[in-house]
Chains A and B, each alone.
Chain A
Amino acid sequence: MSEIPHYLKEGFLSVEELKEYVGLPSEERLRQRPVAVPECPQEIPCTPCAEICPTNAVLMEHPNAVPVVDYEKCIGCSLCVQICPGLAFFMVHYIGEKAKVTMPHEVLPVPQVGEEVVLLNRIGEEVGKGKVVTVIPREKSKGDTPIITVEVPLELAWDVRAVKVVRE
């Protein structure tokens, strides 16, 4: 039973696992422009990310293969984040002491640009607060899913994967 990976026992990827299964972009690349990171380590029959990518940066040998992003080819357009049926694609961009994290947001309320939101990590723990800098509403998203970009402290770039909107 020891072969069961942690992420399947617990239902979330640790950053170490992410590094091992997916491989992270270099710091240099992260500072250039946004880059798409697939958090999709399991072989499932699914290909929309590879099909929609305008630069063929999402590599997939067969329809059940795990998506691998060629970070140099990725232009940070977010189409994969929009279309992914598993809501498993994210974009990360380092700017100074901050990082911008782009993620799907399919729950209500959808935050507004400029709004401060509670940042959640991969197990839903509150890890801080961040500011929403971009919102692609559902109607404009390729995959019928609203996409938001949140500015977070740099050290949280690889932890924050959801937000909670708290309004009085």
Chain B
Amino acid sequence: MRLSEHPILNFEKVRGKEVTIYFEGTPIKAYEGETIAMALHAAGIRTFQYSTKKHRPRGLFCAIGKCSSCLMKVNGIPNVRTCITLVEDGMQIEMQEEKPLLPKTKKPPKWKEPPRIEADVIVIGGGPAGMMAAIHARDAGAKVVLLDENPMLGGQLVKQTHKFFGKREQFAGVRGIKIADILEEELRKRNIELFLETSAIMLLQEGEEKLVVGVRKNKELIEFKGKAVVVATGAMERMIPFENNDLPGVYGAGAIQTLMNTYGVKPGDKVLIVGAGNVGLILAYQLYQAGVKVEAIVEAMPKVGGYFVHAAKIRRLGIPILTRHTILRAEGKEKVERAIVAQLDENWKVISGTERVFEVDVIALAVGLRPSIELLHQVGCQIKYVPELGGHVVIRDSRMETTIRGIFVAGDSAGIEEATTAMLEGKIAGIGAALGAGVASPEWLKEIEKAQKELEEFRSGPFGSKVLEGLKKVVVE
């Protein structure tokens, strides 16, 4: 089902020309500019594939190209990530069989020397960190190229309908979606070469330079060569163990935001949210705004983890927050039909007899994120496990340069924080990369220092203390 009315968003504006795609031969209405997975959801289709061994149904989970639960056969090609692949008129979409084979009738793309794009600074990721890095590297005098595997710029900003915190000069009071527009406009003003729907699949050292291997639209190989690289690849949603957590209808919180806020598709009718951090709290408010019933938020901790003001916003709309509660299992045949929740004691053990049943068709997991560091790992940057930053992160200095000279990191891929800190880190990394590439004048050091001060200030409250503990373990001089 599609949303029409919304207090913040106008979907009529975003939806492109109507096209028809075919799911298992059945025609489905879709709109240009939306991804296959979104169109299937709008048509009520939740099961995208079956697991290879036990034939269990699988559906969408992350919706941003980071997991593999949405892989389907598209025009005969198996293992297409339907969550980031745009619909095209006449597309044939099929659920995958046990072991998908490449079609015998199709020829692989002809091998030819890939085009090589050269720049001073290559930015991987078009979210808040990547866009800020590109803008500032460009301003500092670098030739910049930016690639992102998604069809649109903005990263996770494109689904953040809430207003940001911080100072007004750091976009406080402005909605995330608006910040995405502002940054994109700045980026385009500067003639930064953009490659969307382009996945960076490899990062290599080539002599003194860096080589990024990209694949555009799943078929075209492109090489990017530069003096410095900023990796701003974001993060991926965490999963927690409970019975039937693989049923279609169990989503990462971000996937639900993508469905309803980016594409205007109603994720379901009744939702249970797991996790009362900022993401879970904001998600509940956004679901209410989209007209979806939130039955409850369950939180294993004895208190709300996110900002209190986000909690107050949903409580006064009648959404309960059950602290010291956890999800025991999901139930349902082909998709989620209900969730079983129970109370925890002080030792995190389930108190028997406290089980409660919530009749829901969606379970949203807002249980944290982990940094996406695959490219940094592969190129050989030094890595450390830092739970305060969300998982494995790279060692770097105060200018966001990793242990490999010329490779910088910013945003959630450097440690889980907020969009505001991601933007400041992006600014630092972008200028650092331009300096590293030898194209920026030393004056730019002042701008780095300014951003460092702002970061310090933003992290100086109680909410920043955990991050600061984590940073002590990975920032070296």
Residues in A lying within 8 Å of B, measured CB to CB = 1, 4, 7-13, 39-48, 51-52, 62-64, 83-88, 106-108, 110, 120-125, 138, 142-146, 161-162
Complex A-B: 28 CB contacts under 8 Å: A1-B346, A4-B302, A9-B302, A9-B304, A12-B315, A12-B316, A13-B312, A41-B308, A43-B461, A43-B462, A46-B165, A46-B166, A63-B457, A63-B458, A85-B163, A85-B172, A86-B313, A87-B313, A108-B5, A108-B6, A108-B289, A123-B318, A124-B319, A143-B163, A143-B173, A144-B175, A161-B316, A162-B317
B172 lies within 8 A of A11 (CB): no
Is B16 an interface residue, CB under 8 A from the partner? no
* Chain A nearest Cβ from B68, distance in angstroms: 35
Question: Which residues of B in the span 146-179 have a Cβ within 8 Å of any Cβ on A?
Answer: 162-168, 172-175, 178
Contact A86 B309 (CB under 8 A): yes
The 9 closest A-B pairs by CB, nearest first: A124-B318, A64-B461, A86-B309, A11-B311, A85-B163, A46-B165, A8-B303, A162-B316, A48-B173
Which of B5, B163, B309 is in CB contact (< 8 Å) with A144? B163
- Do A11 and B166 touch across chains, with their CB atoms under 8 A apart? no
CB pair B321–A64 under 8 Å, yes or no, is no
Once A8-B304, A43-B461 are accepted as A-B contacts, the answer to whether A106 and B309 lie under 8 Å apart by CB is no
Inter-chain CA distance A40–B304, complex, in Å, is: 14
Q: Nearest-CB distance from A137 to chain B (Å)? A: 11
Contacting A124 at CB < 8 Å: which of B7, B304, B315? B315
B463 touches A (CB below 8 Å): yes
A107 to B286 alpha-carbon distance, docked (Å): 9
Closest B residue to A88 by CB, please name it.
B309
Whether the Cβ atoms of A44 and B463 lie closer than 8 Å is yes
Tell me the chain B residues, 439-477 only, with Cβ under 8 Å from chain A: 457-464
Tell me which residues across on chain B come within 8 A of A52, comparing CB atoms. Answer: 168, 173
* Cα A32 to Cα B457 with chains together (Å): 38
**A78 CB, min distance to chain B CBs, angstroms:** 14
5 additional contacts, CB 8 Å, given A12-B311, A12-B316?
A45-B165, A52-B168, A63-B166, A106-B7, A123-B316
A8 touching B308 by the CB < 8 A rule?
yes
Residues of chain B with a CB closer than 8 A to A142's CB: 173
Say whether A10 contacts B321, CB under 8 Å.
yes
Instruction: Please name the residue on chain A nearest to B312 by beta carbon.
Output: A12
| Contact A86 to B310, CB < 8 A, known contacts A11-B304, A44-B463, A51-B167 | yes
B172 surroundings in chain A (CB, below 8 A): 46-48, 85
Give B268 Cβ to nearest chain A Cβ, in Å: 19
Instruction: Please tell me if the beta carbons of B168 and A47 are within 8 angstroms of each other in the complex.
Output: yes
Give Cα A52–Cα B168 distance, bound, in whole angstroms. 9
Interface centre among B175, B178, B302, B313 (most CB of A within 10 A): B313
Q: Could you list which residues of chain B lie within 8 angstroms of chain A, going by C-beta atoms?
A: 5-8, 162-168, 172-175, 178, 276, 288-289, 291, 302-304, 307-319, 321, 323, 346, 420, 457-464
The CA of A84 and the CA of B319, in the complex, are separated in Å by 21
- Residue contact B168 to A110, C-beta cutoff 8 Å: no
Instruction: Write the chain B residue with the least CB distance to A8.
Output: B303
Bound state CA distance, A10 and B335, in angstroms? Answer: 31
A85 and B315 form a contact (CB under 8 A): no
A63 proximity list for chain B (CB < 8 A): 166-167, 457-458, 460-461
CB of A47 within 8 A of CB of B167, answer yes
Q: Which of A48, A110, A122 contacts B7 (CB 8 A)?
A: A110
* CB pair B460 A64 closer than 8 Å: yes
- Between B163, B302, B462, the greatest number of chain A beta carbons within 10 A of the residue's beta carbon is seen for B163
- In the assembled complex, which residues on chain B have CB atoms less than 8 Å from the CB atom of A64? 460-464
Report the minimal beta-carbon distance from A60 to chain B, rounded to whole angstroms: 11
Within 8 Å by CB of A108, from B7, B173, B317, B420, lies: B7
Note all chain B residues with C-beta closer than 8 A to A161. 312, 316
Determine the residue in chain B with the shortest Cβ distance to A146.
Answer: B7
CB contact under 8 A between A120 and B163, given known A47-B168, A63-B457, A86-B307: no
Chain B residues with Cβ below 8 Å from A45 are 165-166, 420, 457-461, 463-464
Most chain A CB neighbours (cut-off 10 Å) among B166, B175, B315, B461: B315
A10 contacts B315, C-beta separation under 8 Å: yes
CA of A48 to CA of B171, assembled, Å: 10
> With A85-B173, A110-B7, A162-B317 known to touch, is A44 a contact of B309 (CB < 8 Å)?
yes
Say which residue of A1, A62, A85 sits within 8 Å of B302 (CB atoms): A1
Residues in chain A near residue B173, CB distance under 8 A: 48, 52, 83-85, 142-144
* Alpha-carbon distance between A63 and B420 when the two chains are bound, in angstroms: 14
Output the least CB separation between A80 and chain B (Å): 10
With most chain B CB atoms within 10 A of its CB, the pick from A12, A138, A143 is: A12
Partner of B316 from the list A47, A51, A108, A122 (CB cut-off 8 Å) is: A122
Could you tell me if B163 and A39 are in contact, using CB atoms closer than 8 angstroms?
A: no
A123 to B307, CA, bound (A): 17
With the chains together, A52 CA to B346 CA distance in Å? 44
> Which residue of chain A lies nearest to B454 when distances are taken between CB atoms in the complex?
A63
